[in-house]
Amino acid sequence: MACGADLMSDVLAFTHAGTLLMTGLTNPQVVRTAEMAGIVAIVFVRGKLPPPETIALAEEKGIPLLASRYTMYESCGRLYQTGLQGCGLFQLTADHWSQGDPHSTPPGEVSQDLCA
């Protein structure tokens, strides 16, 4: 499966181990986050290329790096079109809600945080 995100907190919260990450961020923190989340590879979108320190850390951690000239939207869409599934954010949220996670919103409801 795949996920597109520039917020590393979203990557930690909403991905599964074994996910392909697409991001426009190229700093070493992306690799550190990927390692913690069990990300299997990182695709840098919008034609961005990572600096040497990011490449070195990814090599050390065994995380393949790729680059796409397409926007994140188009990169995600192209992969989805070939059959690669998304992380299932709705299902993850529903699972957290059913387990009593106070920080998630029940399916079909608007978070009160958004209404404040």
pLDDT digits (tens, 9 = 90+) for 10-54: 999 888 899 999 999 999 999 999 999 999 999 999 999 999 999
The pLDDT tens digits for 59-97 are: 999 999 999 999 999 999 999 999 888 876 555 555 555
Full-model pTM: 0.75
Q: Which residues contact 47 (CB under 8 A, 6 or more apart)?
A: 67, 68, 69
Query: CB count, 10 Å around CB of 104?
Result: 17
The pLDDT tens digits for 2-19 are: 999 999 999 998 888 999
Query: CB count, 10 Å around CB of 89?
Result: 13
Comma-separated ranges of CATH 3.40.1390.20 domains in the chain = 2-85
**Residue 91 backbone phi and psi in degrees, to 5:** -65, -40
Q: Which residues contact 110 (CB under 8 A, 6 or more apart)?
A: none
For 2-85, the fitting CATH number among 3.10.150.10, 3.90.660.10, 3.40.1390.20, 3.40.50.10860 is 3.40.1390.20
DSSP 105: P
